[in-house]
Each structure stands twice: as C-alpha cells, then as structure tokens.
Structure 1
Amino acid sequence: MSSRGIPASLRGSSRRSPSSVGPTSPRRRCRFKAPLGLALQARHRSASAPPRGRGHPPAQPMGAGCVRDVIGARPRQKTRYGVPGAGNAPPGVDPEAFSWFQTVDTDHSGFISVKELKQALVNNNWSSFNDETCLLMINMFDKTRTGRIDVYGFSALLRFIQQWRSLFQQYDRDQSGSISFSELQQAFSQMGYNLSPQFSQLLLARYAQRSPNPSIQLDRFIHICMQLQSLTDAFREKDTALVGNIRLSYEDFLAMVVTRML
C-alpha cells in the first residue's frame, strides 16, 4: 500500500491542527425543531477543550448540529435522575447537557438509543442524521456495550458533536451549510491528509445527496472523518518504520478494515 493519502505526520512532518491553519468561524445560532413544526433558536456553548482519541477531530470536535426540541411536547415526568431540569444534573455532567439528555431520552429509560439520537439530530438542511453516523457515535461512547449511552456518555457525545460542528463551519467557507468538493479537498489538506481529487470525488459519490452540485452534510462529514482517522491509525500500527508503505496479506487487510469500522 502506498503513502498517498497518508497525513504528513506519518511521513515525519508534524500534522497541522485546524487552529493553526486559520481563524475559527464565529459561533452561530443553532436551530432546534419542535414536533409541531415550530422553529426555535438557541445557542450551544462550544467545548473549551477537545477530547482526545480515535474518531475525534484533529484539534477541536463540533456542536450539536441541530436538535429537534421536544420540550413542552410531553409532560415533565420523573426520570431515574428525578424531575427533568438542569438543577438535578449528576456530578461531573454539564447542566445544559443534562437538560438535553432528558429531552432526548423520550422513553425515560435513563439511556439514549440510536433511534432516539437519530430523532434528535438534524443537519442544516433539516434532514435527520443518518443511521450509520448515529450508530458510530453511540458505539464510540457506549462503555457498557449495550448499544445505548447513559448521561455521562451523552455529555461526552454532545461535546464531540459540538466540536465537529465548529470544524465543519470552519471548512464551510461559503457558509452554505454543506461541504462542497473544493471545500472537502481543502479540509483534508488542512487536516494533514494528502488525498487526490479522485478520492474526494469518490467520497462525494458515496456520501453526498444526488444533485448537480453534490455536497456533504454535517452527519456525513463526521462519518467520513471518523472512518478516515480510524483507518489511518490502523495503517500507522502496521507501518512501524513510518515509511508510508506496508505489506499485508488479504486477510490482514480485511481484519484491519473490519476492526476499525467502529
């Protein structure tokens, strides 16, 4: 396998963080959508420091894209943490994140499922987050291997999405709400990946909605970057000499891909 597409850090030079490439876009209002179609607006605070580890943005993840606001659409019932409200947040959980957790936990189980997360998150064009991205994110923060996340996992997930959204807005240079081909190429370059235009076109063909000018929504941007970083980490583990080339058997290749599909 060749070194094309491998971040500069793999070839000996340090990877540039997005914060060193250009100014971060100012925070914008984030939309929330009520079940009855009432459009509301609210702001989310950006996390001060990004989490580290597999699947996280190069230097700073992003914001709750958009969340369908179901507060007020159902009675305020007791949950396992008491009556809904930020004042009852468990130790170590941000009160705002706890309030959103109770909103998204529609069955009051004390856990967030893939279905509940999908119902809560929407892109800038009001389309729901796709199933694959929701499953990837749940699996990343599911410490119990139950396919659900508790309030602590959800709090970490919310910071993760907030940071990815900030990065998405930074690369969405024309402020269209989606990432175009040229913007995707720039994003990869600034994240340290040396990927060909043909590869970016392949990603657009795979993940963008069909249109004369295909572009990537937030959910697919998160999905692409998580998988790209995960597979790059797997490549690095095999490339112990850091030469940008590895020799693999067919089964080793399959194992590397399957174990890194999060």
Structure 2
Amino acid sequence: MSYGGGYNPYQQQGYAPPPGAYPPQNAQVSPQAQQWFSMVDRDRSGKINSAELQAALVNGRGENFSDNACKLMISMFDSDASGTIDIFEFEKLYNYINQWLTTFKTYDRDGSGHIDSNELTQAFSQMGFRFSQEFIDFLVKKCDPATHKEVSVDQFIVLCVQVQRFTEAFRQRDTQQNGTITIGFEDFLTVAIGCSY
C-alpha cells in the first residue's frame, strides 16, 4: 500500500495486540493488512486514530496526508464513532485506500504524484460526472492555493468522497430527477456539514 512513498517504514517487530483487539476465531484479516496495522498502530492500543494514520501515509509530494483526509477516512470506517478503527475496520480502509491509489495512478500518467485539471476532468468523467472547466478549476484551486495547478492523492481522495457524498444527498432530494432541488437553509447546512466529515 504505497504511492510515492506510501507508509513510512516503521518496521517494528514483535507486535502483540492487546486482549480483545481481535474478534473471535472465525474472523480473518489478510497478513498484509495485519502487517500495515502493526506499523501504523504506534501506541500499541489495538486501535488507529487519524494522527497515527497521518504519520504513516505519504502522498506523492513526500508530505504526509492532510489531517482532513485522515479524519475523513477514519470516520468512514469507524463503526462505533470512537474516533479510532480496529484491525477489521483498518483492513476495509486499507483496501479502500489501495483502490483510490490505483484510480489515482491511472490518471497520474507521468508518475509525478499529482494530477492536473485535465487529468481531474478525465477522472470525474470516468466516474460519470460532467463538470464544467470552471468547476474543475475551482476544485484544483481549493487543493493547490499556491499555484492552482495540481491535486495530490490525499486531496483526490477527499474530493472524490465529498463529491460522492454530496451527490447522494442531492439525489435523495431530487425527487423529480430533473437535476434541480429546492432546499431549506437548515437542510442545506445539514448536508454541507454532514458531507464534509
């Protein structure tokens, strides 16, 4: 599970999870996910929080994933809303991240560790979205306020998750399926706040 650096190589040996960290016998976690979990779980709590995830994930620029990206990914798989994930939730996150890395690499054809607005347009188009160039430029500027040119893998994951969440919320309210909705202020705030985390 790596892209332009992937996880930091902590390579700690002899990891023994605390009692209760694993559900009963029949539950299986892949050896690779177990290995990554032991490297990410720096405090040996049997749970991973967003700070531990952030310390382990590196984007194509050699920077750690953003705090926002890590909190978003933890929250997606945190079934008990504890702010942490166990090894079974981590395996789901691990697979999810690898799927996004594969998707990202498809559009990062030069292996630069980022995609530009044209590549982002292609990615969204492949996902079934037909966004205007102005909207794509807006997304790139939000991701890269300095140069307005590129989107890193962690930013790409956040964008895609947010677009998916907002799309689902929009579809629920688009009862006529005509691409427009009328929304009250509190409902709008509910959607905006709910889709952002």
TM-score by length of 1: 0.69
Matched position secondary structure for 1:117:
helix
Match of 1:79 in 2: 17
| Structure 1: gaps of 5 or more residues | 1-27, 33-65, 83-88
Matched-pair contact (CA < 8 Å) for 2:29–2:88: yes
Q: Deviations over 1:111-148 (max 9, x none)?
A: 00111000000011211000000000000110111100
Matched position secondary structure for 2:171:
helix
Of stretches 195-204 and 221-230 in structure 1, the one that deviates more from structure 2 is 195-204
User: Within 5 Å, which residues of 2 pair with 1:169-180?
Assistant: 169-180=105-116
CA distance in 2: counterparts of 1:91 and 1:144, whole angstroms: 18
Matched-pair contact (CA < 8 Å) for 1:209–1:215: no
CA distance in 1: counterparts of 2:133 and 2:175, whole angstroms: 28
1:172–1:77 distance in 2 versus 1, CA, 3 Å: closer
Does structure 1 residue 96 correspond to structure 2 residue 35?
Answer: no
1:209–1:67 distance in 2 versus 1, CA, 3 Å: farther
| Structure 2: gaps of 5 or more residues | none
CA distance in 2: counterparts of 1:210 and 1:148, whole angstroms: 32
CA distance in 1: counterparts of 2:2 and 2:78, whole angstroms: 29
CA distance in 1: counterparts of 2:174 and 2:115, whole angstroms: 31
CA distance in 1: counterparts of 2:76 and 2:189, whole angstroms: 21
> Which of the numbers 168, 187, 190 marks the counterpart of 1:255?
190
Matched-pair contact (CA < 8 Å) for 2:33–2:91: yes
User: Within 5 Å, which residues of 2 pair with 1:204-223?
Assistant: 204-208=140-144, 210-211=146-147, 214-223=149-158
1:210–1:96 distance in 2 versus 1, CA, 3 Å: same
Which structure dedicates a bigger proportion of its chain to helix? 2
Matched AA of 1:173: R
Of stretches 240-249 and 148-157 in structure 1, the one that deviates more from structure 2 is 240-249
Q: Deviations over 1:62-109 (max 9, x none)?
A: xxxx0001014xx63533269xxxxxx983211110111011111100
CA distance in 2: counterparts of 1:31 and 1:194, whole angstroms: 29
User: What percentage of residue pairs aligned between the two structures are identical?
Assistant: 38
RMSD, matched Cα? 2.1
Matched position secondary structure for 2:32:
helix
TM-score by length of 2: 0.90
CA distance in 2: counterparts of 1:106 and 1:98, whole angstroms: 13
Match of 2:122 in 1: 186
Q: Deviations over 1:125-181 (max 9, x none)?
A: 211000000000000110111100000011100000000000001111333221101
> Which of the numbers 54, 65, 68 marks the counterpart of 1:132?
68
1:203–1:141 distance in 2 versus 1, CA, 3 Å: same
Matched AA of 1:230: R
Of stretches 192-201 and 153-162 in structure 1, the one that deviates more from structure 2 is 192-201
Of stretches 122-131 and 183-192 in structure 1, the one that deviates more from structure 2 is 183-192
The CA deviation at 1:251 is 2.1
Does structure 1 residue 70 correspond to structure 2 residue 22?
Answer: no
**Count of aligned pairs:** 193
